[in-house]
């Protein structure tokens, strides 16, 4: 009996088991007493060490197997007797010990499994374990309205099958990180679960209706950074239970089905849309002059339009530099009376930097160098404000630009508007039409009314009109916005 594990391999296996168990006990005690979450510690404690102990066990069993085979080859009798001997006190003591240890083992494995599960579901695990790869999504998530919503609520959702799928996909990701085969930026399409099963766990479509007023102040690219403000009343949706459903969330009211085909991975080119309305009627819209894929081609995906087709950046919001600068100017973090600050700031933020440290250095010094060259007077008299402005720009950079992953607003379009990328105008550009010539609306008042617009940094001070005022574009472009898409000019390399 004893000779069964008298083999060097058994010694190796046994020592691994003992060492692993002691380390596990120590780290588990640490995990109980620690007040902060550390994804690395959790990973080692609840995955690494159990795996190590398991390895030791396997080695131990292999050693026994080798001994058994060797004994049999020598012609010795090997048999495993399993007899309960209630009269033998030594036997009984060992039996109870064995049973006790087994229960302890089962509970530990269960507990470890549970803690391991918890560890891989935590925001820290998803966002920080593979620090470089997930940094852009982690940082933007922390700055978003969903900062307190865990990654898994949107990326996995409820139910066991998606849990298993995500862990299997996780193995692929571990491989990609280990062998550095991932793209910089990460490449889509990112197949999220239908929004019905994730977003709608918290946001119930029937209950978000009404209007939303947004105000924004923009600063021009001229010497004075002239402010210009807009008050917008967005018609998100009417009360669906009492009135005719309409408004922006009309697409989502459960009886309406909108389906579309996109011809690119980012889903920016949409030549075909089909709508099945509440009354059962069907509308089929296509873009004239564009290639329409065959509907029966198995490679063609007819997608159900859902929350994610507009809100594709609910959590990872990579701000346009111009938007971030506008907010910083409106709040005073950037002194809007520094001449040409808007233009200079945009140039600095849009430059290509090899890494974050270089960016910090060059932005920090760059603004001062700019003023020393263009306006030495300002550079000497307002050095403090220039320094503070440079610091504010570094902060904007840190929240929105991730040079190591080559990820920023240029890699991640936002579909919930129509300025910097086509967004709503992928379908609502006024050219998409059905057989009778009806188009999907492009009327400026169908989604929002502009309550007020004009010069000045205070939107509240604008003269407003509830029936809406006509849009006028700031600067010198005149009426060009009437004949071109906003995104034609607001190409993302300009940053506004």
- How far is Cα 476 from Cα 495, in angstroms, rounded to an integer? 18
Show the binding pattern over residues 414-433: x = contacts ligand HEC (CB under 6 A), - = does not.
Answer: --xxxx---xx-xxx-----
Query: Min. distance of Cβ 442 from ligand HEC in angstroms?
Result: 5
User: How many other CB atoms sit within 10 Å of the CB of residue 96?
Assistant: 10
My answer on whether omega of the bond before 409 falls inside 30° of 0, hence cis, is no
Structure tokens at 331: 């709040």
User: How many other CB atoms sit within 10 Å of the CB of residue 2?
Assistant: 5
Contact 139, 319 (CB under 8 A): no
Which stretch in 44-52, 241-249, 353-361, 380-388 sits in contact with ligand HEC by CB under 6 A? Answer: 241-249
Cβ closest to ligand HEC, residue 67 vs residue 229? 229
Structure tokens at 129: 């374990």
- By CB under 6 A, residue 401 contacts ligand HEC: no
Which stretch in 93-101, 348-356, 392-400, 439-447 sits in contact with ligand HEC by CB under 6 A? Answer: 439-447
Cβ closest to ligand HEC, residue 59 vs residue 139? 139
- How far is Cα 398 from Cα 349, in angstroms, rounded to an integer? 10
- How far is Cα 470 from Cα 391, in angstroms, rounded to an integer? 38
Q: For residue 462, which of 270, 228, 247 has the smallest C-alpha distance?
A: 228
Structure tokens at 236: 């998100």
Chain positions 23 to 42 lying near ligand HEC, rule: CB under 6 A, are none
- By CB under 6 A, residue 193 contacts ligand HEC: no
- For residue 190, CA distances in Å to 9, 38, 181 come to 46, 27, 17
User: How many other CB atoms sit within 10 Å of the CB of residue 452?
Assistant: 20
Tell how far CA 251 is from the center of its chain. 23
Cβ closest to ligand HEC, residue 77 vs residue 476? 476
Q: For residue 359, which of 370, 368, 350 has the smallest C-alpha distance?
A: 350
- By CB under 6 A, residue 257 contacts ligand HEC: no
- By CB under 6 A, residue 310 contacts ligand HEC: yes
Query: Min. distance of Cβ 150 from ligand HEC in angstroms?
Result: 6
Chain positions 146 to 175 lying near ligand HEC, rule: CB under 6 A, are 146, 149, 151, 153-155
Query: Among residues 102, 455, 471, 491, which is the contact residue for ligand HEC, using CB under 6 A?
Result: 471
Which stretch in 33-41, 110-118, 165-173, 310-318 sits in contact with ligand HEC by CB under 6 A? Answer: 310-318
- By CB under 6 A, residue 315 contacts ligand HEC: yes
Query: Among residues 45, 129, 240, 326, which is the contact residue for ligand HEC, using CB under 6 A?
Result: 326
Structure tokens at 474: 């700031």
Query: Among residues 115, 184, 311, 410, which is the contact residue for ligand HEC, using CB under 6 A?
Result: 311
Which stretch in 104-112, 251-259, 294-302, 351-359 sits in contact with ligand HEC by CB under 6 A? Answer: 251-259
- For residue 207, CA distances in Å to 130, 314, 437 come to 38, 18, 34
Which stretch in 46-54, 55-63, 130-138, 346-354 sits in contact with ligand HEC by CB under 6 A? Answer: 130-138
Cβ closest to ligand HEC, residue 7 vs residue 249? 249
Show the binding pattern over residues 268-307: x = contacts ligand HEC (CB under 6 A), - = does not.
Answer: --x--x-x-x-----x-x-------------------xxx
Question: How deeply is 268 buried, as exposed, middle or buried, from its count of CB atoms within 10 A (0-12, 13-18, 19+)?
Answer: middle
- How far is Cα 456 from Cα 43, in angstroms, rounded to an integer? 54
Contact 410, 151 (CB under 8 A): no
Which stretch in 19-27, 68-76, 131-139, 360-368 sits in contact with ligand HEC by CB under 6 A? Answer: 131-139
- By CB under 6 A, residue 319 contacts ligand HEC: no
Cβ closest to ligand HEC, residue 60 vs residue 138? 138
Cβ closest to ligand HEC, residue 100 vs residue 430? 430
- How far is Cα 27 from Cα 40, in angstroms, rounded to an integer? 12
- By CB under 6 A, residue 234 contacts ligand HEC: yes
Cβ closest to ligand HEC, residue 116 vs residue 417? 417
Query: Among residues 108, 143, 166, 246, which is the contact residue for ligand HEC, using CB under 6 A?
Result: 246
- By CB under 6 A, residue 10 contacts ligand HEC: no
- How far is Cα 160 from Cα 244, in angstroms, rounded to an integer? 38
- By CB under 6 A, residue 390 contacts ligand HEC: no
Structure tokens at 152: 């898994």
Query: Min. distance of Cβ 455 from ligand HEC in angstroms?
Result: 12
Number of residues engaging ligand HEC in binding (CB under 6 A): 98
- How far is Cα 238 from Cα 250, in angstroms, rounded to an integer? 8
Sign of CA dihedral 151, 152, 153, 156: positive
- By CB under 6 A, residue 490 contacts ligand HEC: yes
Query: Min. distance of Cβ 24 from ligand HEC in angstroms?
Result: 28
Chain positions 70 to 129 lying near ligand HEC, rule: CB under 6 A, are 123, 126-127
- For residue 409, CA distances in Å to 65, 402, 403, 413, 417 come to 60, 10, 12, 6, 14
User: How many other CB atoms sit within 10 Å of the CB of residue 334?
Assistant: 26
Chain positions 204 to 233 lying near ligand HEC, rule: CB under 6 A, are 205, 208, 212, 214, 218-222, 230, 232
């Amino acid at each position: 009996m004893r000779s069964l594990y008298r083999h060097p391999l058994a010694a190796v296996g046994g020592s691994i088991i003992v060492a692993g168990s002691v380390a596990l006990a120590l780290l588990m005690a640490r995990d109980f007493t620690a007040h902060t979450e550390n994804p690395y510690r959790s990973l080692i404690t609840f995955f690494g060490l159990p795996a190590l102990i398991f390895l030791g066990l396997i080695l131990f069993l292999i050693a026994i197997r080798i001994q058994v085979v060797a004994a049999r080859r020598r012609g010795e009798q090997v048999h495993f007797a399993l007899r309960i001997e209630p009269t033998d006190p030594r036997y009984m003591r060992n039996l109870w010990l064995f049973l006790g240890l087994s229960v302890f083992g089962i509970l530990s494995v269960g507990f470890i499994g549970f803690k391991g599960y918890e560890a891989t579901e935590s925001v820290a695990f998803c966002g920080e374990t593979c620090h470089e790869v997930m940094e852009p999504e982690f940082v933007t998530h922390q700055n978003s309205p969903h900062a307190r919503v865990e990654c898994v609520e949107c990326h996995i959702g409820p139910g066991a099958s998606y849990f298993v799928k995500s862990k299997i996909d996780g193995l692929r990701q571990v491989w990609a990180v280990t062998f550095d085969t991932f793209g910089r930026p990460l490449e889509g399409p990112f197949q999220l679960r239908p929004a019905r099963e994730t977003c709608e766990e918290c946001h119930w479509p029937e209950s978000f209706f009404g209007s939303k007023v947004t105000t924004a102040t923009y600063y021009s690219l001229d010497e004075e950074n002239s402010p210009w403000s807009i008050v917008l009343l967005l018609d998100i949706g009417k009360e669906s239970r009492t009135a005719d459903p309409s408004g922006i969330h009309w697409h989502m009211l459960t009886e309406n089905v909108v389906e579309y085909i996109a011809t690119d991975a980012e889903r920016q080119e949409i030549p075909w849309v089909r709508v099945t309305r509440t009354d059962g009627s069907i509308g089929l819209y296509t873009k004239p002059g564009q290639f329409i894929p065959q509907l029966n081609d198995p490679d063609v995906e007819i997608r159900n339009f859902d929350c994610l087709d507009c809100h594709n950046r609910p959590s990872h919001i990579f701000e346009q530099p111009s938007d971030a600068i506008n907010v910083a100017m409106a709040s005073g973090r950037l002194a809007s009376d520094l001449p040409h600050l808007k233009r200079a700031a945009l140039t600095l933020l849009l430059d290509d930097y090899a890494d974050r440290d270089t960016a910090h250095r060059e932005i920090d010094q760059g603004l001062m160098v700019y003023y020393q060259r263009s306006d030495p007077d300002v550079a000497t008299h307002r050095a403090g404000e220039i320094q503070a402005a440079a610091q504010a720009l570094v902060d904007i950079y840190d929240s929105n630009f991730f040079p190591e992953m080559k990820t920023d607003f240029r890699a991640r379009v936002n579909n919930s508007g129509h300025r910097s990328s086509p967004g709503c105008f992928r379908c609502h550009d006024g050219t998409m039409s059905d057989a009778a010539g009806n188009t999907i609306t492009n009327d400026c008042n169908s989604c929002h009314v502009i309550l007020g617009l004009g010069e000045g940094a205070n939107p509240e001070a604008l003269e407003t009109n509830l029936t809406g005022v006509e849009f006028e574009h700031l600067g010198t472009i005149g009426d060009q916005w009437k004949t071109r898409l906003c995104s034609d000019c607001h190409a993302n390399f300009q940053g506004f």
